[in-house]
Amino acid sequence: MSRLPLVLALAAALAALALALLVGPGELGPGDVAAILGHHLGLVDAAPPPIADAIIWELRLPRALLAAVIGAALGGAGAITQGLFRNPLAEPGVLGISSGAALFAVIGFALGLDAATPWAAALLAAGGATSVLLLLLAFVGARIDVATLLLSGVAVAALASAVTTLILALASARWDLGLRVIHWLMGSFEGRSWGHLAIAAPIVSLGLGLSLWIRRDLDVLFLGPESARSLGVDLRRLHLQAIAAIGLLVGVATALTGIIGFIGLIVPHLARRLGGPGHRRLIPLSAAIGGGVLLLVDTGARAFTSFVLPPGVITSLLGAPFFLWILWRQRVRVDGL
């Protein structure tokens, strides 16, 4: 399989990044954007107008780059999750992994830990995602059944949401906490800066690097746990490595931007159609497509409404019908056998 799908996906992501820098309040054209970027890169000597410079360099660019990084994290996490559970319906949001990450992050917000260090929420969210993954693996066991997997994910997500609501109810006097958490749970890039990008980039790089490290074992696992074990795959180590990768990717995405669902479900399906099922190409292709898709979603949320829609709401509106379509296809396939 050629590298053309990955090259095209990266080119599309760069085009989406350029579009994101042009869309928004303030009449700034391509020439203005190029001049501002050239000035900060040392290619243009003339200083741009301060307001235009602030709009592009301090607001739009870090937000767009963060959307690309988070989209890459969610796309890559979806590919690993589907490979680990050997099921196209597996996705961090559907399985309750995002809800677990959100619960732990909300606990950090309620305790004020995020004020002490910007890493607190990301680490807690990663711990929540990892905890849910461990629970799911304990529930489904080696023989993964679709119904058991989905029901376990629904139960875990419901429990995490209930505890999150309980925390908000107990802290009802802190209206600022409730408002912040509600906006955060909807998923948003509002107010994100270079500091958020500095947190996300190394963690996402580590998570994707670990994902590529286990790509061959994930391919072998597709044959079944017994076959994988007979071919020399250490399933316990593979599970721990996959859990760590998914926990890092979903944890940092949820901690910094809130719950943005269904990217991890839709993107791997597109990547699999373009580049094949092998994880050597599937993981980077899912990351590239995920970054471009989330960039377009966030840009559309800012461009076509009088107010900024949370990207998490848009991805849920698009992803829920896609999930039902996949479920219907699987049912038709089983009934037709």
Q: What is the pLDDT along the chain (337 residues), one digit of tens a residue?
A: 478 999 999 999 999 999 999 988 777 889 999 999 999 988 888 888 899 999 999 999 999 999 999 999 999 999 999 998 888 878 888 778 888 888 998 888 888 887 777 678 778 888 888 888 888 878 766 555 656 777 788 888 889 889 988 888 887 777 777 777 777 778 889 888 999 999 999 999 999 999 999 999 999 998 888 899 999 999 888 888 988 898 889 888 988 888 898 899 899 999 999 999 999 999 999 999 999 999 999 998 888 666 777 888 888 888 888 878 877 776 655 454 4
Instruction: Record the tokens describing residue 47, joined without a space.
Output: 């200083």
Under a CB-based contact definition with an 8 Å cutoff, are residues 209 and 251 in contact?
Answer: no
Fill in the amino acid letter for 18: A
Under a CB-based contact definition with an 8 Å cutoff, are residues 196 and 58 in contact?
Answer: no
Nearest-angstrom CA–CA distance, 307 and 302: 7
- Phi first, then psi: give them for residue 23, nearest 5 degrees: -95, 135
Q: Which CATH superfamily is domain 4-332 in?
A: ABC transporter involved in vitamin B12 uptake, BtuC (1.10.3470.10)
Which residue shows structure tokens 């949001």? 93
